[in-house]
Structure 1
């Protein structure tokens, strides 16, 4: 039986991270590239929607069809070419713009990418209904999923580098004489 995941941050108010909002706005304006959006998303909390799906119904005493059983499901977006995408949202405003009855589950962007690869989805679509939709796919999706799982050995044709903070050095010194 699947367990219900614990929230990443119980005090989360559902708002989009300011850095993510700024990166997406700059991307939409053409003043930032996808790398800047991915940088902002890499440490951000996203919301993955779950929705109730009717699995069994019955006719009630009043003669109307009613719900008997339902399950919570992770909806996927299916493109015209048949490829599937996992949906994620930067905040509750973007989630309810897409579907008001969806319930949010907190996850990191890397966890969402890992789940998409596990579900054999071709992409993750962030904020599908706006304000600024963004797609993570192909090698980038697989690389982010591999980072989350720690399975970097399976990546081919992708370089993943770890950046360490650089201490400031003085390249020259001035001597006063």
Structure 2
């Protein structure tokens, strides 16, 4: 292959990533599940974390051979949206390869900042970002938290609670 025909793979921004959960986020999720910390503490830990968005193979076109047997003609990779009984959708994201493997061992992880995952959820028309759906401490980022996370706002501790600070225009 000639040098000018080669393609480079962009740096995902996580050079030392081993697929493990961010310890601060894992602790916040576990503490929230036990009722020890409010939801704001989880979002505050999540906002600076790397998440793994799973992609799975989706059958594109199928062709039939002379015996009428179906064969894959093409397949695509797609992020996963789940739909609840009431019709709302959520984009899946995981804190580690272990938590993603609990959901689907065949899924492939795409490491992204939490903000990118939130943006992808909104762009897909999802109402939520579903974090660690298969446990051990599942969490749903929705509504204002999802919108502000995607927009680059920063959640900070204020007294006994949390408040959002908008991104600077500079």
**TM-score range with shorter-chain normalisation?**
0.7 to 0.9
Match of 1:27 in 2: 32
Gaps of 5+ in 1: 149-158, 163-177
Measured after TM superposition, the shift of residue 64 of structure 1 is 4.3
Instruction: Give the TM-score of the pair, scaled to structure 1.
Output: 0.77
Question: Could you give the per-residue CA deviations for residues 143-163 of structure 1, whole angstroms, max 9, x where no partner exists?
Answer: 111117xxxxxxxxxx7327x
Query: Residues 160 and 35 from structure 1, CA distance in 2 versus in 1: closer, same or farther, beyond 3 angstroms?
Result: closer
Gaps of 5+ in 2: 1-7, 154-162
Q: Distance in 1 between matches of 2:33 and 2:104?
A: 23
- Greater RCO (Cα-Cα under 8 Å, separation 6 or more): 2
Q: Is 1:122 the counterpart of 2:124 in the alignment? A: no
Structure of greater Rg = 1
Question: Could you give the per-residue CA deviations for residues 102-160 of structure 1, whole angstroms, max 9, x where no partner exists?
Answer: 11111111111111122221000000111111000011111111117xxxxxxxxxx73
Instruction: Give the TM-score of the pair, scaled to structure 2.
Output: 0.80
Match of 2:165 in 1: 161
Question: Could you give the per-residue CA deviations for residues 46-93 of structure 1, whole angstroms, max 9, x where no partner exists?
Answer: 000111011122345787433221001111010111111111000000
Q: Distance in 2 between matches of 1:72 and 1:123?
A: 21
- What's the RMSD between the two structures over aligned residues? 2.3
Q: Distance in 2 between matches of 1:118 and 1:4?
A: 23
Match of 2:3 in 1: none
SS of residue in 2 equivalent to 1:143:
helix
Matches within 5 A, 1:98-109: 98-109=103-114
Match of 1:10 in 2: 15
Measured after TM superposition, the shift of residue 96 of structure 1 is 0.9
